Amino acid sequence: MPDPLQTATIWREEARKMGIGDIYLCRVESATGEHGDPQLIGFDAAVEFQPDWAYLAAAFRRKIWFLAKKLGLPGMIYSYSSLVDSMCSREAPWYRRFACVTPSWDNTPRRRSGAAILWNSTPDLYEKWLRTVIGKAVSNRPERNLVFINAWNEWGEGNHLEPCQKWGRAYLEATRRAIVNWDEG
């Protein structure tokens, strides 16, 4: 958006004119420059996008070049386990941001080069991440008790919860366990 503050103002005015009332606007945080107080651009909150490319690059990026080259993969490989550990220990920002998790990521089907792969994701690691995020959302800041999962069936990016031949229903079952048992972890 060229002018997100003006856009947010127009959306809010139009919603009121239509009788919808106040709308709640969230900005997505993914790339560098998309982080920070969403109120500065007229939005109420931010939503993490996972994987958070800016955070991957800045905080812990683990390149596994030898494996990518050996397998002939057209991109970067990041450790899913490292991502989970890093994101579970990440502090919440001072502004309102809703957390997000992703079960996996591999966008090689969409890219001939420059792809990104989260290597060695498992339902257990995903469950740990989701359980931790739910626990933080509910325990620390009740007004932030909404959690996002990227994605349900994003086969082109390799992040799906739907049953598959490799894992069956394991990611769906991990999601259920994380929701039901978040306070046990």
Better-predicted residue by pLDDT, 27 or 55: 27
| CA atoms 12, 13, 19, 22: torsion sign | positive
Average pLDDT over residues 31-54: 89
Cis amide prior to 142 (ω within 30 degrees): no
- Tens of pLDDT, residue by residue over 65-112, are 455 566 666 667 788 898 899 899 888 889 999 999 999 988 888 877
Residues 27 and 37: their CA atoms lie apart, in Å, by: 10
Bridge partners (DSSP) listed for residue 67: none
- Per-residue pLDDT band for 133 (boundaries 50, 70, 90) equals very high
Contacts of 108 (CB under 8 A, 6+ apart): 73, 74, 75, 115, 117, 158
Average pLDDT over residues 156-160: 83
What's the mean per-residue pLDDT of the chain? 85
- The answer on pLDDT for 140 being more than 70 is no
Average pLDDT over residues 131-160: 81
pLDDT of residue 57: 60
Strand order in the sheet with 26-29: 26-29, 45-48, 97-98
